[in-house]
Structure 1
Amino acid sequence: EISSPYFNPSTQIEDLLSEGQEILVQVSKEPLGSKGTRITSYITLPGRYLVFMPTVDHVGVSRRIQDERERKRLKEIVQAIKPSTGGFIVRTASEGAESDEIRNDMEFLLRLWANIQRRKENLPAPSLVYSDLTMVLRVIRDILSPQVNRIVIDSKSEYDNIVNFMNAYMPKQKYEIVLYEKKEPIFDAYGIEVEIDKLLERKVWLKSGGYIVIDMAEALVAIDVNTGRYVGKRNLADTILKTNLEAAKEIAYQLRLRNIGGIIIIDFIDMDREGDREKVYQALEEAIQKDRQKTTISKISELGLVEMTRKRTRENIARMLGEPCPYCEGTGFIKSKTTVCYDLFRQIERTASELGGRSILVEVNPEVAALLFEEERAAVEELEQKIKKKIVIKGKTGLHQEQFNMVEV
């Protein structure tokens, strides 16, 4: 994306940008799978209450601030104190903020932009001109809300950073900041370790006994809803409705928790009653209001399917915490032992005439070897008669279930 300081829509882009020309850009999306980094010259600098956009002239208010009087108040504050150039987005955290808090945030962002401009002039391209706050301080800046009472951290240096940051940029925010110093790991003490393990599981159980299954593919994410152990106390339609309503809330939570983005297809349990489909849709729509990422949803079809999109700016948690399985190469399955046996038989037939010895030594995975000695023993003997060679089977630890080696002896 190229902003107006570099690009006039009425001019051909090749007349404005040339090889070797230096421009200031910002990473807008991190690499995702095979897709590279996305960059833009529309610079945005986030603060606690505002986002500064030096290349545009616009004042907007977060859609999450729904009170019209508050939206008007905040917009008027920003318009009254903003400089003649540059634009601002009023963030959700600004709701209820006083004008001096917003002014301080604006002044900080303007100083930051001036510093970036100075650094840009003194650095050769390519160079890192500015890097955002550390992850810990970004959480403090972007996620803290009135619903948070206490911040607990087990690092003395990060504790000091948080205290200094809040004193400097959020002096009126009163949160209890605690340095955790107990022997028990902080993730164990607060049950975080268990939750992290759950993040990598496909199946998520619902309190009612139903469950959802999350499958992530290259093109989209599919989420299936099932009643599981839940049979209900009334009729089947009520059981399905209750499970779907609970699933709608859990799905919205899991999308945020796992940072799942892109195209999402939800397969709710089929509902015959139009009113039930509308209730589930409303429950899902209400649940995604808590999401900071831009999300859109379609109405539930007669088949119980919902199409969703959620803005994706970085890898999901599963890809950040894990890597493709080297055993199945990310497919989620491998050939069965029986299939491997018959792959082996066909390969022996192909190569038997090329092997000069009287016998063929076959090295296979120990579990495949056990199957060849037992259930498939008759098939091995039949093949020996066909190729007129002895087949010697040896289990070899370390071989992949699908792997085998053959040598003449």
Structure 2
Amino acid sequence: MKGLTIALDEIGGREAAALIRDGLLDDLMIDSDAPRPGTIYRGVAERPVKGQGGMFLRTPDGSAFLRQVKGLVPGQTLLVQVTGFAEPGKAIPVTQNILFKSRYAIVTPGKPGVNVSRQIKDDDAREAAMESAHEGFAEAPLPQEAGLILRSSCADAAPEEIAEDVVAMCRLAAHVLADEGREAEVLVEGDGPHALAWREWTEEADVDGDPGSFARQGVDEMVEDLRRPHVRLPGGFSMIIEPTSALVAVDVNTGGDTSPAAGLKANLAAMRDLPRQLRLRGLGGQIIVDPAPCPKKDRKQLEGLLRAGLKKEATESVLTGWTTLGLMEIQRKRDRQPLRDLLK
């Protein structure tokens, strides 16, 4: 089935959203009990961490950890935003670089200026987006010392939709930035899967938001496949993806193909699909790939293909190189909870 479909439903009583591209599951978001990324707290500084340049903060959802805290003293209140999910037993990762993000606009406190996404190449579209933003400013001006980024989704949006989004984000930012409370509190709840789907999946797509959409669109079966470590690849090849407490291990196999080119073909198939698999499974941290037999002359080709795939990811992912044993090393930000934890 060609085209894009967005399905909005639930999995195990949790709100969930699925993006299906040409019949394949391309992205999957499932709500969890952990604080959502994007949540904004009024936090209270508690104690510094010597040697790490960080500070533990008190929040309503437990301890949070903030890096780069020069000048911050215990007892001081400050606004912070959740950047990802904490590993078991660790503090919530937060930042002071707060963003107020919606489908068309991002308000950036401390970074003044109005900018349009570089992905919008057409001059008329850029100018129309700027005009819509200024119409929004007439109703709700930007907070002092704050800026605005008009996202790439503005290219095909109606002017009134852009202006409405700008107004909403400016008002939210002004309200939060004016906060003068002294106790730990949640000021803005992060978006759930359905809101995130509207905000981030901006390509033209069919939307199935009625109950039972996952069953109708085949999402339930595709999610069931993600429970298994074994991933079937084109050409009869496969890879095994197994998270451990220290890292994520990926093993690429040639299957029954014993031809001289089998190793290269299996590795290329794995590199094409690996970013999608990591995204769907919610895996991050240190990722070690054990490729099929791979002479050094083939490494550059594999690196180029994988880097191109990782570059398209919204999650920060970096191919750091090869070990002396011929294993590929990837570092990926933990901005989602592992799927296996959500499907228990």
Are the equivalent residues in 1 in contact too, given 2:283–2:336 (CA < 8 A)? Answer: no
Could you give the per-residue CA deviations for residues 117-162 of structure 1, whole angstroms, max 9, x where no partner exists?
56x34x662222222344212211112313x2x100224xxxxxxx
Q: In 1, Cα distance between the equivalents of 2:299 and 2:71?
A: 54
Structure 2 residue aligned with 1:151: 207
Distance change in 2, residues 1:191/1:90 (3 Å): same
Structure 2 residue aligned with 1:109: 169
Of 292, 295, 301 in structure 2, the residue corresponding to residue 269 of structure 1 is 292
For 1:63-212, list aligned pairs within 5 A.
65=118, 73=126, 77=130, 81=134, 83=142, 85-95=145-155, 101-117=161-177, 120-121=179-180, 125-146=183-204, 148=205, 150-155=206-211, 185-212=212-239
Give the root-mean-square deviation of aligned CA atoms. 3.5
Could you give the per-residue CA deviations for residues 225-257 of structure 1, whole angstroms, max 9, x where no partner exists?
0111334xxx41x22111111111121110111
Distance change in 2, residues 1:77/1:247 (3 Å): same
Could you give the per-residue CA deviations for residues 77-96 of structure 1, whole angstroms, max 9, x where no partner exists?
39x94746212344343455
Please state if 1:51 is matched with 2:106: yes
Are the equivalent residues in 2 in contact too, given 1:43–1:55 (CA < 8 A)? Answer: no
Structure (1 or 2) with the greater helix fraction: 1
- Greater relative contact order (CA < 8 Å, ≥ 6 in sequence): 2
Q: In 1, Cα distance between the equivalents of 2:219 and 2:69?
A: 50
Q: In 2, Cα distance between the equivalents of 1:290 and 1:191?
A: 25
Shift of 1:111: 1.1
Q: In 2, Cα distance between the equivalents of 1:133 and 1:139?
A: 9
Please state if 1:309 is matched with 2:336: no
Structure 1 residue aligned with 2:342: 320
Structure 2 residue aligned with 1:294: 316
Shift of 1:46: 0.7
Please state if 1:215 is matched with 2:242: yes
Question: Which one has the largest radius of gyration?
Answer: 1
Are the equivalent residues in 2 in contact too, given 1:30–1:36 (CA < 8 A)? Answer: no
Structure 1 residue aligned with 2:263: 240
TM-score by length of 2: 0.66
Could you give the per-residue CA deviations for residues 59-94 of structure 1, whole angstroms, max 9, x where no partner exists?
6666xx557677x9489939x947462123443434
Structure 2 residue aligned with 1:253: 276
TM-score by length of 1: 0.57
Structure (1 or 2) with the greater strand fraction: 2
Are the equivalent residues in 2 in contact too, given 1:59–1:75 (CA < 8 A)? Answer: no
Are the equivalent residues in 1 in contact too, given 2:129–2:154 (CA < 8 A)? Answer: no
Alignment identity in percent? 28
- Paired AA for residue 251 in structure 1: L
Distance change in 2, residues 1:300/1:102 (3 Å): farther
Are the equivalent residues in 1 in contact too, given 2:100–2:107 (CA < 8 A)? Answer: yes
3-state SS, counterpart of residue 188 of structure 1: helix
Shift of 1:300: 5.5
- Paired AA for residue 49 in structure 1: Y
Shift of 1:34: 2.2
Distance change in 2, residues 1:187/1:267 (3 Å): same
3-state SS, counterpart of residue 106 of structure 2: strand
Structure 1, gaps ≥5 residues long: 1-5, 7-11, 156-184, 323-409
For 1:354-373, list aligned pairs within 5 A.
none
Q: In 2, Cα distance between the equivalents of 1:209 and 1:74?
A: 50
Structure 2 residue aligned with 1:181: none
Q: In 2, Cα distance between the equivalents of 1:30 and 1:56?
A: 26
Distance change in 2, residues 1:303/1:18 (3 Å): closer
Could you give the per-residue CA deviations for residues 93-127 of structure 1, whole angstroms, max 9, x where no partner exists?
34555766544432221011223356x34x66222
Are the equivalent residues in 2 in contact too, given 1:60–1:75 (CA < 8 A)? Answer: no
Q: In 1, Cα distance between the equivalents of 2:329 and 2:165?
A: 38
Are the equivalent residues in 1 in contact too, given 2:120–2:126 (CA < 8 A)? Answer: no
Q: In 1, Cα distance between the equivalents of 2:220 and 2:257?
A: 28
Could you give the per-residue CA deviations for residues 251-298 of structure 1, whole angstroms, max 9, x where no partner exists?
111011112111211121132261x33222222222223311112114
